[in-house]
Chain A
Amino acid sequence: MTALPDAAEPAVQAAGPAEETPSSRGMLRYALSKAGGALFSIAMVVIGTFFVFRLLPGDPVRNLAQGRNMTPEQLDLERHRLGLDQSLINQFFDFVGDTLRLDLGTSYEYKRPVLDLIGERLGPTLLLAGTGLVIAVSLGLWQGIHAGWRHGSRFDRFSTGTSLVLWSVPTFWLGLLLMMVFGVGIGPIPGLLPFRGSESIDAPDGFAYVLDVAAHMVLPCLTLVAVVYAQYLLVMRSSLLEEVSQDYITVARAKGLRDDDVRRRHAVPNALLPTVTLVFMRIGFVVGGAVTVETIFTWPGLGQLFYEAVSVPDFTLMQGTFLLITVSVIVMNTLADVVYHMIDPRVRSA
């Protein structure tokens, strides 16, 4: 809707009750209280993480020693080096202190700081999962809007049906299928796209490098998008259907607006609100990468790192990636609350 120029009218403004002119101070207070809640959640996660990983069965030192001949003395020495010979309480305070200093410990397997490992893998993951998210959200919302607006139409049945089928397909199966068809090639048809890693071994420089990485991204990205976009479509579709039956949509039609304008100006902005929460939650999970997709396509991201950490098992590495994912989900949820508060006037005054 066309916004009217908001000329300053201090006298008239003052006539309105104070609580009905949303103040930036109220907004700040709301954001701070949400941030406080988020900090508390993060603290609980840090504490929980420590104990959960100590409760896991198996002796990390014995796991590390697998296949090697070590004397009990050597094992004790190793235990001492890792700080595992200390009492649980001491270990706990060490862990909390280290975490506060952003020291996530040293990986058992890689013998390198966990933070460095995460740093290396973060880029490729953000690239793959981030691109996947943007495409899935745009595709899902767009199809959801059109399916909901003309619900029961051929487009609705086709797009909703297709997305549901893809959603039900196991990720690894679809990934392998795409890899076979487009990566390896079937019969006389050669493989068209690379499917291992994020770049070629002899990767060129400059723009050609960008193209090389993009080519490597196609298949994992396609898999990622195909299996998740249905949820955006379905949320958007049902949310739009709910709005369309409201009286104010009929009012907008009665005002003489074009069908497209009724949809764009009235139905969609309202229907988008519930999807905001969903999208922000998904952004939170982006740093977790896509464990399955990254593993299948050997994409050097966090998901793959997490997978490796679990299969060793490498406790500090698992602990570190686990913390990273939970913290990012909590942060994004908090942001979702704040953004929702900003865009929905009804929540603002509640």
Chain B
Amino acid sequence: MSLLELDDVSVTYRIASGEVPAVRGVSLSLDAGAALGVAGESGSGKSTLAMALLRLLPKEARVGGRILLDGDDVLTMKWGRMRAVRWAEASIVFQGAQHGLNPVRKIGDQIAEPLLTHNLAKPDEARRRVTELLEQVGLPAWRARSYPHELSGGQRQRVMIAMALACSPRLIIADEPTTALDVMVQAQVLSLIKELVAEHGISLIMISHDLSVLADVCDQLAVMYAGRLVEHGPSREVFREARHPYSKALAAAFPTVGDPGSRMAPKGLGGDPPDPMQLPGGCSFHPRCPVAVDGCSTLDVQLWPAGPGRTAACVHARAEEEVS
């Protein structure tokens, strides 16, 4: 059985001027020990989806569908059970380089907090565990007494990772864990995540706009556009030959290191993501799509099979599949 299963999950924000559909009917599943990458531009709904997994969205958000974590539906859980699941079963790595850490608390106390909250350790045990966790992420033990502002961005991100590991969860959700870090540090943090997740057999959901980063770390890749899944499949294949034109554009937006060709011909995507309150009819991507055909503005696109273990929400992908 899969560890996490999303079944037709939708998130709608109710604001003064109406309803904003942020996530629309996403179904995904994640096996224990597997790593799934979720890609998309800002506003594609990828972070909203991640926050929905632990019901961390603001009150204005209405979540539909089913989110099964280990067979339990997160959305219908009582609050007490929900709090017990949070961090102990699934934890989150935020962009620690920014504001993910409380600025006036020592980082040792912040790492120990979930252990003490969930009664997983007594204070002195928690202290030892903090030292252990800091070591795992390559930070010296005395850093436990530092404040976040005394650390560099990369070090803060390491603290975030140590914190996420504190309760030995089964799932870690990493929301843009390397954004706002410089390239070298980014690579270090990524390999650290990869290593620790593999070592502890933790499942990973990693969210990023950078397809190449996700392809490097994850087994499976899901691409989101305007709140919908537009492509899903094994990560290397999706990255190398995307079936959906949006995934193609996303993959081309970052030059492949070591491939001069990709640097010579950078291919950006024109236009902006659609306003979620005024989504275009048919395929939401058609106004920006370089290969759109007449039917795209009316056709109800769905995730059609697009090769072994792959799906894509594009008429071209379906056509190719039917031909072969």
In A3-22, which residues have CB < 8 Å from any B CB? Answer: 3-7, 9, 12-13, 15-16, 20-21
A256 x B84 contact (CB < 8 A): yes
In this complex, how many residues of chain B approach chain A with their Cβ under 8 Å: the count is 45
Which residues from chain A contact B141 at a C-beta distance below 8 Å?
9, 12
Q: How many interface contacts (CB-CB < 8 Å) are there between A and B?
A: 110
Tell whether A34 is near chain B: CB-to-CB under 8 Å. Answer: no
A256 x B92 contact (CB < 8 A): no
Given contacts A4-B123, A256-B84, contact A346 B149 (CB under 8 A): yes
In this complex, how many residues of chain A approach chain B with their Cβ under 8 Å: the count is 36
Question: How far is the CB of A164 from the nearest CB of chain B, in Å?
Answer: 23
In B89-105, which residues have CB < 8 Å from any A CB? Answer: 91-92, 94-95, 98-105
Inter-chain CA distance A110–B182, complex, in Å, is 73
B116 x A266 contact (CB < 8 A): no
Given contacts A248-B101, A251-B92, A256-B114, contact A2 B84 (CB under 8 A): no
Question: How far is the CB of A22 from the nearest CB of chain B, in Å?
Answer: 9
Cross-chain contact of A4 among B94, B98, B104, B109 (Cβ < 8 A): B109
A9 x B108 contact (CB < 8 A): no
A12 x B88 contact (CB < 8 A): no
A2 x B99 contact (CB < 8 A): no
B104 x A247 contact (CB < 8 A): no
What residue of chain B has the Cβ atom nearest to residue A348's Cβ?
B147
Tell whether A62 is near chain B: CB-to-CB under 8 Å. Answer: no
Tell whether B219 is near chain A: CB-to-CB under 8 Å. Answer: no
Question: How far is the CB of B95 from the nearest CB of chain A, in Å?
Answer: 7
Which residues from chain A contact B63 at a C-beta distance below 8 Å?
none
In B128-163, which residues have CB < 8 Å from any A CB? Answer: 130, 140-142, 144-147, 149-150, 163
In A322-350, which residues have CB < 8 Å from any B CB? Answer: 343-346, 349
Which residues from chain A contact B126 at a C-beta distance below 8 Å?
4
A269 x B104 contact (CB < 8 A): yes
Tell whether B226 is near chain A: CB-to-CB under 8 Å. Answer: no
Question: How far is the CB of B169 from the nearest CB of chain A, in Å?
Answer: 11
Of the listed residues B56, B88, B117, B144, the one surrounded by the most CB atoms of chain A closer than 10 A to its CB is B117
Inter-chain CA distance A101–B150, complex, in Å, is 47
Inter-chain CA distance A344–B103, complex, in Å, is 9
Tell whether B112 is near chain A: CB-to-CB under 8 Å. Answer: yes
B150 x A349 contact (CB < 8 A): yes
A16 x B102 contact (CB < 8 A): no
Which residues from chain B contact A251 at a C-beta distance below 8 Å?
92, 94, 100-102, 163
What residue of chain A has the Cβ atom nearest to residue B91's Cβ?
A254
Tell whether B86 is near chain A: CB-to-CB under 8 Å. Answer: yes
A13 x B142 contact (CB < 8 A): yes
Chain B positions 30 through 57: 1 when the CB is less than 8 Å from some CB of chain A, otherwise 0:
0000000000000000000001001010
Question: How far is the CB of A13 from the nearest CB of chain B, in Å?
Answer: 6
Inter-chain CA distance A15–B114, complex, in Å, is 27
Listed by A's residue number, 20 A-B pairs whose Cβ atoms lie within 8 Å are A1-B105, A1-B110, A4-B112, A7-B127, A12-B140, A12-B141, A16-B140, A21-B145, A247-B98, A247-B99, A247-B100, A250-B94, A253-B56, A254-B86, A256-B83, A256-B84, A270-B102, A346-B149, A349-B149, A349-B150
Q: Which residue numbers of A lie inside 8 Å of B, CB to CB?
A: 1-7, 9, 12-13, 15-16, 20-21, 246-248, 250-258, 261, 266, 269-270, 273, 343-346, 349
